Amino acid sequence: MRRIAGIVLAVLLIGGVVAAVVAGRQGDDKGTATKTVRGVIGSEKSDFFADPDVVKALAAKGYTVKTEASGSWAMDGLDLKGYDFAFPSSSAPADALAEKYHARQPLPRPFYSPLVVVAHRSAAQVLAAGGLAVLDGKGKGTLKMAAYLDAARHDRTWQQLKGAAAHGELTGTLYITSTDPETSNSGALYLAAASYVANGGRVVASDADVARTAPLLRKLVSVQGAQQPSSDSVFRDFISGAGNPLVCLYESQVVSLLGEQSGRHGTDSDLVVLYPDTTVNSDHTIVPLDDAGRALGELLSTDPTLRGLAVKHGFRPQGDSAEFVRATADRAAYLNQTLTGVRQAPVPTFAVLHEMARRARG
């Protein structure tokens, strides 16, 4: 009897050990498992979500994020069924998507980036000599939007500007390259900034405003010929030395590039970053399509590690300008870290901006 009891006890003990091991493994799995969240993002955030450090930080919080890139303004035409979030590059397309999919307000806005114009040094110097820009050292300056728009209105050429004759690459009509405003956020925001200045410092809000500014916006776009659908594409062309010497894109792209160059072989001495004296911020805004999408948006907004990684990729976290200034101290020669002297123009509504883009494209 004692032998039988001993055997039973041994079996129970072994069973308890096995159960504990299984429970421990399940606990370990639970601690390392992640919830897969799918989203459509603006292409300028592709590098951020692909960064191994970002992937690791998200996994530590229980998320695996799978993304597909799209033009921010093209997201409205996509079927987002089965996705957890959309992440366009500004508030206008985000608000339109939120209304379409009945997303609860407020929408998470983890970070932002102002529009800037990158120039080759020769072009920046000629602009300054012609009164269209003011340089602050070798790597940065301010673009005078009113003066530039006046030059565009009168079809001014590079050859008409003082000093251009010394630079054989500066020929033909003076213009800034931007992306397709009907599909790309940066191109649409370029029109928003230009229209604000052209409309006497007032946001375009009525049919009369649209009609008044349409001829100039049409000139800004038509002179470019075929436009790229992505700011990544125009930036790559600029860096390779191809195409136009003036390009409108996001500050975040410049900050990221400068960080990479500094880490490898020093910063590109030919690059000048011009901050338009009137510009717009690209508020990267998450449209949660379910609870998982909203949780991700709040995590990107509040988690210190993810905020720091956003700065690494050039984005300015919402609510703490000092965080950006500290993180980009090594690139201060190229960046207007505090946006001194830069006026932020309001962005028209989605419907108005879409109509402006349609007319500008002809």
pLDDT per residue as tens digits for the range 196-214: 999 999 999 999 999 999 9
Q: How many CB atoms lie within 10 A of CB 292?
A: 17
User: For position 6, what pLDDT does the model report?
Assistant: 44
Residues of the chain with CATH 3.40.190.10: 34-111+283-330, 113-282+333-361
Partnered with residue 87 across adjacent β-strands are 41
Span 242-279, pLDDT tens digits: 889 999 999 999 998 898 876 544 555 699 999 999 99
Report d(CA 64, CA 49) in Å as an integer.
10
Length of the chain in terms of residues written: 362
Domain 113-282+333-361, CATH 3.40.190.10 — does that match?
yes
Instruction: Give pLDDT tens digits for 132-185.
Output: 999 999 999 999 999 999 999 999 999 999 999 999 999 999 999 999 999 889
Q: What is the mean pLDDT of residues 40-65?
A: 96
What dotted CATH number matches 34-111+283-330? 3.40.190.10
Reported pTM: 0.87
pLDDT over 60 at 115, yes or no: yes
pLDDT digits (tens, 9 = 90+) for 7-20: 333 433 334 433 33
Give the mean model confidence (pLDDT) for residues 228-247: 89
**Mean pLDDT across the stretch 326-354?**
95
pLDDT over 70 percentage in the chain: 89
* Helices (H) then strands (E): counts for the chain: 14, 13
11-22: b (≥16 Cβ within 10 Å) or e? eeeeeeeeeeee
State yes or no: pLDDT of 21 exceeds 80.
Answer: no
